[in-house]
Structure 1
Amino acid sequence: MTLEVKVREKQLVARYASSLIRDGEVVGLGSGTTAAMFVRELAKRIKNEGLKVIAVPSSIPIKLLALSLNMQVASLDEYPVVDVDIDGADEVDRRLNLLKGGSYGVFTNEKILASSSKKFFIIVDHSKLVKRLHTKFPIPVEVLREARELVFRKISKLGGEAKLRTYRINGEEIPLITERGNFIVEAWFRSIDGGFKKLDRELKEIPGVVETGLFLDMADAVYIGVGEKVEVVNRGEEVPEQLIEWSK
């Protein structure tokens, strides 16, 4: 799958998702490249159609983008119930479970926003489809700084390997700090006994763990860019096997 095709599919689902937004709604804005495309498409509708929406962003970069596009921005303190939240994902399995938290890791914010929304819709290009979560990406875990070593040990006892998410600046590896001032620990598991719900619960039981990037049984629908069309999979349905095979 070429980068050009991937970008085109992202733009397609972003435009499709923007068409679902109705006048007067409070809209959650997820984070990441596909979510940013949705923000731009929604801003076009606001400008061209006079659509009135209130945007609740999940991160500082998305908030700044929305403000730069003259969108009305608010917080969950002001609007604790959101009508619809549109977000992307790093992996989507056939039952619409998600793995999120790539790049700068605002998945805690995203999960709070999604859980505060009446509807939670995911937009992805078809390369994000997987038979099983944790196929391509580690499970990100947001961790209080002083709990880092404890979390490393506990993840090891659960059968995983953990490392701190870092970025390079001036040749030096620097720990990534989240908007909440925490670290991101990346966990890899060769096998997961008992399934992802059990693992998610065990990770959250570790003192100092804030949240994980596993979004299980949360999505109401996933909109998938496939070539020149959008495939819609609703809660209770499964992603067609051929789409998952094609995504490899």
Structure 2
Amino acid sequence: MRILVADDDPQIVRALRLTLQSVGYEIVTAADGPEAIRLAASTHPDIVMLDLGMPALDGVDVIRAVRGWSDVPILVVSGRTGSADKVEALDAGADDYVTKPFAIDELLARLRALGRRRGGIESVAVLRIGECEIDLAAKAVLRGGERVRLTPTEWRILEQLARAEGRLVTRAELLTELWGTAEVRDTGYLRIYIAQLRKKLEPDPASPTHILTEAGMGYRLVADA
């Protein structure tokens, strides 16, 4: 298995590399948050192991970014021992949490457990629709290299559609994502947001070919092949 180790402490990285390689793992390393996200997208690790206190981008933000396109198991290995830190990391999408200093035997056991659960659904980090690129890792949309400005709500809708690319996302699922409950009365706001997304992303918003309506059910995003 390939493990991405993201930690800014070179001594810890060296120790983990030697230990994990000795038991047969292939190791890729990152020294800061942005590099961790880039390598998670480009090297397709079987497990991501990361510290929370990294330069440039906090580990929790890395977890959220990776979860934008991947279900790869994530093991946090951190010196932060507070329960609030653990809860935040797990709520962001981490699968397990080990505090430093750690016992190697325990760490290896947790890696084996996560390895048995690997193989979840994973999609590409970048989707293309017409002239636009949806970058799920960077949480951005580009058209001709220029960033398309989306509101936070527009991005949340687009991200959910993109993560389910090709599959139906029901109105109830979108409403739950936006407002925390599927019971919220839909007063047309969802249709307005979808129309705004089409205006910004579709080649012909009046005849959409990528953000499609499934009558009476919800919406589907179809990316270019």
Please give the TM-score of this superposition, normalised by the length of structure 1: 0.30
Structure of greater Rg:
2
| Greater helix share, structure number | 2
The structure with the greater share of residues assigned to strand is 1
Question: What is the TM-score normalised by the length of structure 2?
Answer: 0.32
